[in-house]
Amino acid sequence: MTLSYKETHSPVGKLKLVASSDSLVAVLWEQERPNRLKLDPSTRVSRHPILLETERQLTEYFAGKRTQFELALEMSGSEFQMKVWRALREIPFGQTKSYRDLATALGSSPRAVGLANGKNPLSIIVPCHRVVGSDGSLTGFAGGLQAKAALLALEAKAAATMNDWQVAEKLSRNPSTGSG
């Protein structure tokens, strides 16, 4: 498979976006552990529709204006990894789940979920950063725990802002009659 890549700067560091001709294949971290993922060689490009669209959506995400991504994704992994990655996409924006919660839902062990989570090729897009320890602690993340904390803080702030906006919107449509 012929792959192309583009590097982009973000609030959590430089990201390497990798795409095939028609799908996003990976979002990699600057300080990523070598060989965490096995990808075909890629060529650096400046103009690629999938990479430019990914960059645009990531910019919106980091600005707190996007809660989910609408991109063609191409992920390859074992059947179990794919199951875990689908479950990650179901974790709502601004919320977290523990490895134990995911393992229980998938009929697996927290360790197996953690290993599959660690092989997620699409960091941020497939939100593996939303998975935490049973006690709420931040554990393992390809981008580092500082980046994980920053992503969770960004989402918490954006979710709170969105909730405030939704409450204000509801109040403007249905003003309370009991205020005084």
Residues serving a catalytic function are: 128
Report whether 31 contacts 37 (CB < 8 A).
no
Report whether 5 contacts 42 (CB < 8 A).
yes
Amino acid of residue 163: N
Report whether 91 contacts 97 (CB < 8 A).
yes
155's tokens: 């989402």
Instruction: Give the Cα separation of 110 and 96 in Å (integer).
Output: 15
- 79-89 and 110-118 are packed helices; what angle lies between their axes, rounded to 10 degrees? 90
Buried residues in 6-32 as b, exposed as e (16+ CB within 10 A): beeebebeebbbbbbeeebbbbbbeeb
Backbone angles phi, psi at 132, to 5 degrees: -130, 170
